[in-house]
Amino acid sequence: MWKVCHLVVMLLVTVCWVFPAGALTTFELTFDDLATPNDKGMWGVVPDDYQGFFWKDVEVVNVKAYQNYFGNTKIAFPSKPNAAYNGGLDGGYEVVAMAAAQPFVLEGAYFATWAQNNNFVSYGSKELTVTGYLAGNPVGSSTFALTPEFVWQDVKLGPIDLVTFRHVEKDNAHWWLMDNVKGAFVPLPTTLGLFGLGLITLLCFGRRHKRD
């Protein structure tokens, strides 16, 4: 039995070697290729299949509308013409999310409060918590303050298959923005190989320990 386990472990190690963890498929989500057909080109919805992710209550706003209609002429988006935000017409949703069928690592993104005249406003969120999950279990979280200007935040969560964004106000009346989301998809053979390696090793070790 131990020889069989040894062969299986060697096979899984070979799989992980052929598909190393470093061979990740990176992504950067700028939202700039999405349409903003609502309210004369001001905003639009992020579709569920955008860039391989499923989206919950995430929308995009056009930079011209954000700068002109809300008076934020000094605040530039990290990339133009769009940035994402936590949706809602009468106030931003408390929790929004992005998920994928394939596990991924979330490196970080640019975040900002929703400003008015280049400054804080009552309906702008002041703090955000980003939480990652894998198979329904929390992996980690990152909490940071928001400012009128976009600031890069290193969240470094993964591997995960779901990430939620929750603002500190815990209501549906505050907005924040996000842009240039960066990360990488974890290759499926590596994910399965590492999981299988750990499982087989534990089973074989337990069986050998029992015989001893």
Q: What is the pLDDT of residues 69-105, one digit of tens each?
A: 999 999 999 999 999 999 987 789 999 999 999 999 9
| 152 touches 159 (CB < 8 A) | no
How is residue 179 written in tokens?
A: 């842009």
Give me the percent of the chain exceeding a pLDDT of 70. Answer: 77
| 97 touches 166 (CB < 8 A) | no
Domain boundaries, the chain: 1-22+188-212, 24-186
CA distance 164 to 5: 39
pLDDT at 183 > cutoff 90:
yes
CA distance 142 to 107: 11
pLDDT at 44 > cutoff 90:
yes
CA distance 163 to 141: 9
Confidence of residue 199 (pLDDT cuts 50, 70, 90): very low
CATH code of 24-186, in short, is: 2.60.120.1350
pLDDT at 23 > cutoff 90:
no
**pTM confidence score:** 0.79
Find the farthest-apart pair of alpha carbons in the chain and give their distance in angstroms, rounded: 75
Q: What is the pLDDT of residue 132?
A: 98
Q: Which residues pair with 11 in a beta bridge?
A: none
Q: What is the pLDDT of residue 91?
A: 84
Q: Which of 94, 93, 128, 92 is nearest to 108 (CA)?
A: 128
Contact residues for 98 (Cβ-Cβ < 8 A; gap 6+): 53, 54, 55, 56, 58, 162, 163, 181
- Residue type present at position 87: G
Q: What is the pLDDT of residue 3?
A: 52
Q: Is 2 exposed, middle or buried (0-12, 13-18, 19+ CB in 10 A)?
A: exposed
CA distance 103 to 100: 7
Arithmetic mean of pLDDT, 45-66 = 96
Q: What is the pLDDT of residue 135?
A: 95
Confidence of residue 14 (pLDDT cuts 50, 70, 90): very low
Q: What is the pLDDT of residue 202?
A: 43
Instruction: Kindly report, residue by residue over 110-168, the tens digit of the pLDDT.
Output: 999 999 999 999 999 999 999 999 999 999 999 999 999 999 999 999 999 999 999 99
Least confident of 36-40, 90-94, 178-182, 208-212: 208-212
